[in-house]
Structure 1
Amino acid sequence: MTQTWDETRVRALHDDLVELYDPVDRVAEHGADPTAEPGEGVRQLVTTILSQNVADENTRRAAEALFERYDDFAAIEAADHEELRETIRVAGLPDQKAARIQRALTAIREETGGAYSLAFLDAMATDDAKAWLTEIKGVGPKTASVVLNFHFGKPTMAVDTHVERVSKRFGLVSESASNERAHEELDAQVPDELIYPLHVLLIRHGREHCSARGADCDNPVCEVYCDCEYC
């Protein structure tokens, strides 16, 4: 079937996912708080870099080790690369992630004239804030969107593998779209106030029903929206 998407249909998808899984509680899901201290935005960025291509439990362990070992962001930026790499090894890709974290902290300090704060992003338009973050090597659109949406409440969808897979199967995103293009298409399609809850609901649907292999399409959401090979 060919899906035609507009705001009404996106809202219907959100409502149907809520019916299947319950409403999304933003604070319960991620503890996200746009009014948090400015440094928390930096912590969100560092933690999101750690989370790239790794399970949540390993991200948690790496972040715990990192923030226990170093007193502040200045200490992390100045840390010996090998020591930092070993501290976060459980997160995988430790060489790359250590370099990305230190590059990000350097960029923030230089932008602010010495502070480790991303508060300046709050005053920027979403596209400008995303462009600033993605100028940092190793910070892609997903990492930038996590920081901007989870911490600042800006309307930009973080597209992980679950969100991308389900969105393509539902026709929300074109099948041939790159991950970067998927971010653009979802940002254009989804009403601002639904970006965070739909992000969470699509991930849950991807984990519980719409898996990469052997998807379980015997559910009311897939019956209406999905046209994958398993349906």
Structure 2
Amino acid sequence: MKSSDDLKRCVRRICELLECEYGRKKHPAKTDPIDTLVLTILSQTTNFKNCKAAYEGLTAEYKTWQDVLEAPEDDLAKAISIGGLGRIKARRIKNALSRIKEKEGEVDLRFLAAMSTEDAMGFLLSMDGVGQKTAACVLCFSFGKPCFPVDTHIYRICKRLGLGGNSREEIASLIVETIAGNKLCAFHLNLVEHGRRICTARNPKCNDCVLKDYCY
């Protein structure tokens, strides 16, 4: 088993290798936090194409997040059905928006900017259906807070590399402790790209992998 220092050295080297392979991606423009929250809920157990179509169906049908909150759950489920699990995701979206309005009096997450990362994460995780990845996406991409979303691709790669134990939370914690905050977003995007191109779930292209020397 690697020591904590060995794991951190490994993470730093992996970050460097992926940066050489894919470049240092610029942090995307900060997104509206409600948009990010809803998009990430819609992305659960589906691909990007269907997630995007579900979001477009939702925003075509409802003009504001208040409209979404007030919509019947069945109607909302139909609007996002292309993404799969429409009824479950509709309930999660409505519950999240209701929780936000209950706290703030309006459907707006900008108040998280003034909170510590820990407190903001705690608030998001208190919502039904919002896990580490969803909460970290909101805090990382909408607020630039030092969080690291661990999606399916990243979890798969890190498990193969022997990083961070068995949980997504352990992996995220290791990376946040190791990589500078201004590089977290680029590292996340490079890992996702590597997972899609090379370190796929089935038939990974190991001979073409720049990380093969670190793989178990």
1:59, 1:219 → 2: CA distance?
29
Question: Which runs of no fewer than 5 residues in structure 1 stay unpaired?
Answer: none
Counting aligned pairs with the same residue, the percent is: 36
* Distance in 2 (alpha carbons) for counterparts of 1:140 and 1:78: 24
Equivalent in the alignment of 1:106? 98
Partner-residue secondary structure (3-state), 2:7: coil
Alignment partner of 1:116: what SS?
Answer: coil
Where do 5+ consecutive residues of structure 2 fail to align?
Answer: none
Question: How far apart are 1:126 and its partner, in Å?
Answer: 0.9
Superposed displacement of residue 220, structure 1? 5.5
Question: Amino acid of the residue matched to residue 20 of structure 2?
Answer: E
The equivalent of 1:197 in structure 2 is 186
Could you tell me how far apart the structure 1 residues matched to 2:138 and 2:23 are? Answer: 25
User: Aligned pair 1:43/2:45, yes or no?
Assistant: no
CA offset at residue 199 of structure 1? 0.8
What are the superposed Cα offsets for residues 32-90 of structure 1, whole Å, 9 maximum, x if unpaired?
31xx6xxx211111111111111101111111111111121111001011111100001
Distance 1:71 1:220 in 2: 44
TM normalised by structure 1 equals 0.86
Q: State the partner residue of 1:138.
A: 129
* Aligned AA (1:14): C
CA separation in 1, counterparts of 2:75 and 2:195? 37
Check whether the contact 1:24–1:197 (CA below 8 A) recurs between aligned residues. yes
Q: RMSD of the alignment, in Å? A: 1.8
Report the counterpart of residue 211 of structure 2 in structure 1: 222
Q: Does 1:173 align with 2:164?
A: yes
Q: Distance in 2 between matches of 1:194 and 1:88?
A: 33
Output the CA distance in 1 between the equivalents of 2:138 and 2:112: 10
Q: What is the SS of the residue equivalent to 2:63?
A: coil
Give the secondary structure class of the aligned counterpart of 2:67.
helix
Determine the structure 2 residue equivalent to 1:94. 86
For 1:191 and 1:19, locate their aligned partners in 2 and report how far apart those are by CA, in whole Å.
Answer: 17
d(CA) in 2 for partners of 1:52, 1:75: 22
Q: Which residue of 2 aligns with 1:13?
A: 14
Equivalent-residue separation in structure 2 for 1:60 and 1:207 (angstroms): 17
Corresponding residue for residue 183 of structure 1: 172
1:9 Cα deviation after fit: 4.1
Residue in 2 that maps onto 1:80: 72
Shift of residue 190 of structure 1?
A: 3.0
- Is contact 1:172-1:186 (8 Å) kept? no
